């Protein structure tokens, strides 16, 4: 059986080499999220959300990851910020998704 390299392993090594690189940190957080490792994804996505006030996507993934690990109160606040960004940046797809998620919280 072939050992498959996980995407998160690739980005983890990049983050180790350049820990302040926002794009590497986002890619690592997204890979961890996609792999289902929400606990590990949260700090990476939080770093990205904290790094730029206008960066919507890490907030969406962060909020969804927080919901998955039972931190709904934190998620709600982050997702509301992401919704405001989606509205001001005219991202209709994410806006619709965020409205649905927030309605279910």
Distances (CA, A) of 81 to 1, 49, 60, 92: 45, 10, 9, 15
Per-residue pLDDT reduced to its tens digit, 47-79: 999 999 999 999 999 999 999 999 999 999 999
Whether 30 shows a pLDDT value over 90: the answer reads: yes
Residue 41 has pLDDT above 70, yes or no: yes
Whole-angstrom distance, CA of residue 92 vs CA of residue 98: 10
Whole-number pLDDT of residue 4: 84
For residue 92, the tally of other CB atoms under 10 A from its CB is 9
Nearby residues of 87 by Cβ (< 8 Å), 6 or more positions away: 95
Domain range list for the chain: 7-104
pLDDT number for residue 19: 95
CATH class of 7-104: mainly alpha
């Amino acid at each position: 059986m072939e050992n498959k390299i996980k995407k998160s392993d690739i980005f983890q090594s990049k983050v180790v080499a350049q820990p302040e690189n926002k794009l590497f940190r986002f890619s690592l957080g997204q890979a961890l999220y996609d792999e289902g490792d929400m606990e590990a994804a949260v700090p990476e996505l939080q770093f990205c959300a904290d790094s730029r006030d206008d960066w919507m996507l890490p907030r969406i993934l962060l909020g969804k990851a927080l919901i998955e690990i039972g931190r709904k109160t934190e998620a709600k606040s982050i997702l509301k910020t992401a919704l405001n960004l989606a509205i001001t940046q005219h991202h209709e797809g994410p806006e619709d998704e965020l409205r649905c998620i927030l309605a279910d919280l």
